């Protein structure tokens, strides 16, 4: 589904991503791990289109997307979850889902401006879809709450819900477990699994929570110093001496600092 070939992302003379070649197959939940500063987020930015790589190519569903903009990738079904924008905190949970841009550019309300019946129909369809997404995420009881009032875990569920409004194919999740309590974490994991198994979503997730990685991810890819160190089953990756060394290096450095 996604093929990265020799990706380099340099900032000045520093290569945050240094020659990454990686394949993501349709239906996988790929876990991206590695110590702080390994280049994981930078690689996400390259995949999502926020950065154009210094070298290398990205193919998505067989098409070279290396030079496509973020929104062009989004319309192809390559979606990255982002924290709910600050100005959306005042909107209700339901409205936060309804304002996600539609998947097909032709479906946007502005294009149908002069046909009010169509506008009403499209708006009603979007509302219905948003209501279904809320039911799936078990957030119906907070549909009319301001998004800013949600707990950390509920916000993560809502972020996932925003991707569900787009008919995403490949979803990039950046540290979904961060700041989420244990109960909601289980729910988040369960929803990711259902979206993967029943809705056919493919995921790449960056995560420091190894319990979540162990439960959800196959394969697991470990990066260090901008490179892919190793990949495979979680236990094999975790027990790889090079991985231990990369994490240990981080601990030693942090302790020394
Ligand atoms: N825009 C930038 N300009 C310069 N250096 C950058 C930039 N973005 C990232 N870096 C550097 O690239 C390296 C990789 O950073 P990145 O955020 O990708 O790591 P990470 O693996 O996501 O780390 P963490 O787990 O701590 O989030 C770091 O040394 C960082 O300081």
> 């901008």: which residue's tokens?
226
Contact 146, 90 (CB under 8 A): yes
Region(s) of the chain under CATH 3.40.50.300: 1-77+168-257
How far apart are the CA of 215 and the centre of ligand 1, in A?
26
Residue with more model confidence, 249 or 170: 170
**Which residue has the least CA distance to atom 4 on ligand 1?**
11
Coil/strand/helix, residue 97: helix
How far apart are the CA of 54 and the centre of ligand 1, in A?
15
Give the C-alpha distances (Å, rounded to integers) separating 248 from 36, 97, 255. 11, 42, 10
Looking at residue 255, what is its pLDDT?
46
Contact 250, 40 (CB under 8 A): no
183 contact partners, CB below 8 Å, separation of at least 6: 153
Q: Fold for 1-77+168-257, please state it.
A: Rossmann fold (3.40.50)
How far apart are the CA of 183 and the centre of ligand 1, in A?
31
Ligand 1 contact via 20 beta carbon (within 6 Å):
no
Average pLDDT, the chain: 87
Tens digits of residue pLDDT in 185-207: 888 899 899 999 998 999 999 99
Looking at residue 109, what is its pLDDT?
53
pLDDT at 107 over 60: no
Q: What is the rounded CA–CA span in Å between residue 256 and residue 177?
A: 28
Beta strands in 119-219 (DSSP E): 170-174, 202-206
Tens digits of residue pLDDT in 138-191: 999 999 999 899 988 888 889 888 888 887 899 999 888 888 888 888 888 998
**Mean pLDDT of the region 65-83:** 88
36 contact partners, CB below 8 Å, separation of at least 6: 250
């Amino acid at each position: 589904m996604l093929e990265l070939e020799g990706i380099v992302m340099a900032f000045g003379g520093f290569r945050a991503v240094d020659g990454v070649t990686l394949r993501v197959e349709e239906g996988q939940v790929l876990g991206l791990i590695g110590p702080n500063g390994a280049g994981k987020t930078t690689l996400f930015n390259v995949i999502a289109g926020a950065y154009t790589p210094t070298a290398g190519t990205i193919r998505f569903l067989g098409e070279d997307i290396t030079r496509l903009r973020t929104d062009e990738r989004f319309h192809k079904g390559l979606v990255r979850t982002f924290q709910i924008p600050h100005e959306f905190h005042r909107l209700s949970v339901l409205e936060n889902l309804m304002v996600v841009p539609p998947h097909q550019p032709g479906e946007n309300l502005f294009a149908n401006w002069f046909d009010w019946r169509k506008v009403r129909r499209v708006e009603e369809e979007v509302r219905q879809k948003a209501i279904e997404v809320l039911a799936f995420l078990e957030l119906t009881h907070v549909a009319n709450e301001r998004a800013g009032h949600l707990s950390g875990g509920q916000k993560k569920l809502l972020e996932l819900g925003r991707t569900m409004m787009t008919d995403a194919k490949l979803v990039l999740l950046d540290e979904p477990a961060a700041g989420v309590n244990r109960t909601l974490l289980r729910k988040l994991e369960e929803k990711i699994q259902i979206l993967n198994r029943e809705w056919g979503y493919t995921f790449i997730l960056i995560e420091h929570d190894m319990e979540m990685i162990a439960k959800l991810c196959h394969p697991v890819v470990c990066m260090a110093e901008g490179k892919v160190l190793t990949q495979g089953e979680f236990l094999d990756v975790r027990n790889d001496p090079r991985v231990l060394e990369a994490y240990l290096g981080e601990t030693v450095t942090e302790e020394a600092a």
